Amino acid sequence: MSGRSGGHGRLAPSLLLLFSASIVAAACASNRARGPLDNSFLTGKPCQAPCWYGLELGRSDSEQVMSTLRTLAFVDAASIISRPTGWYDSDDAMLVEYECVGQPGESCGAALVSEGTLVRITLPVQVPITFREAVNRLGQPDYVFAGPPAVSGGCVVELFFRARQAIVSSHQRGDEICERVYDGHGIDPELVLDSITYVTGNVMPPGEDSGPPFFPWRGFLESDASE
């Protein structure tokens, strides 16, 4: 990307923990669910983001995570597993992963519990959701990430919503979208999301003042005066 794509590589390892979660979810989203679907982001039911089926960041514990997952129609309850993982400076972090009904062998989401408390939920998008719909639901983003993913080629665009403790991500195969962001343009509102991540606000990556690959929110392309 014109020599500018190295920005992602300069991120601290702890930040890569956050970004890698959305990339894993994006990879899973390539095969859309063939069973019941999770459309809670669009409906706001049973609770508004970043609450997810009653699970709340900074409040819910591991027992609540496990019991909630077992009740969801789109989750294959037999597939739920938990394993130790890394999370910043925590020595007590656990990742709970699960498969969705109709998607055997593929991770369909993950919840991370640190020091006994839920700190991150990573969800592949099962129904089509655009950036425009995400902004309509969450409000104006605080800033934008644009750069290559940690584990594959192409371009990742992520919108960060601090107050809503949310990150929405779209992984594109080419570099053109990231190039446009670097050149000062807005975001295509019709790009379809691959993943949604809810994460405690105190571990949100640095914002636009950090410079590339972080950028201020410039709106959508249709409101870009240079278009």
pLDDT value for 104: 85
- What is the rounded average pLDDT for all residues in the chain? 84
Give the position of tokens 């994006």.
26
Q: Best-predicted range by mean pLDDT among 4-18, 177-191, 203-217? A: 177-191
pLDDT value for 223: 54
pLDDT value for 24: 46
Q: How many domains does the chain have?
A: 1
| H or E, element range at 138 | helix 131-138
Is the predicted pLDDT of residue 225 greater than 70, yes or no?
no
* pLDDT confidence tier of residue 87, bands split at 50, 70 and 90: very high
* Edge-to-edge order in the sheet of strand 110-114: 75-84, 93-100, 110-114, 117-124, 195-199, 166-172, 155-161, 143-147, 214-216
CB 187 within 8 A of CB 170: no
* pLDDT confidence tier of residue 26, bands split at 50, 70 and 90: very low
Taking only the tens place, the pLDDT of each residue in 181-190 is 999 999 999 9
Is the predicted pLDDT of residue 161 greater than 80, yes or no?
yes
Residue 201 is part of which domain span?
Answer: 5-223
Taking only the tens place, the pLDDT of each residue in 132-154 is 999 999 999 999 999 987 667 79
What SS3 class is residue 199? strand
CB 144 within 8 A of CB 177: no
DSSP classification of residue 8: G
* pLDDT confidence tier of residue 34, bands split at 50, 70 and 90: low
CB 200 within 8 A of CB 119: yes
pLDDT value for 149: 77
What SS3 class is residue 9? helix
* pLDDT confidence tier of residue 6, bands split at 50, 70 and 90: very low
- The residue length of the chain stands at 227
Mean pLDDT to the nearest integer, 6-12: 41
Which residue in 141, 170, 132, 131 sits closest to 154, CA to CA?
Answer: 170
Whole-angstrom Cα distance, residue 64 to residue 117? Answer: 10
**Which residue did the predictor score with more confidence, 103 or 101?**
101
Q: Is the pTM of this model over 0.75?
A: yes
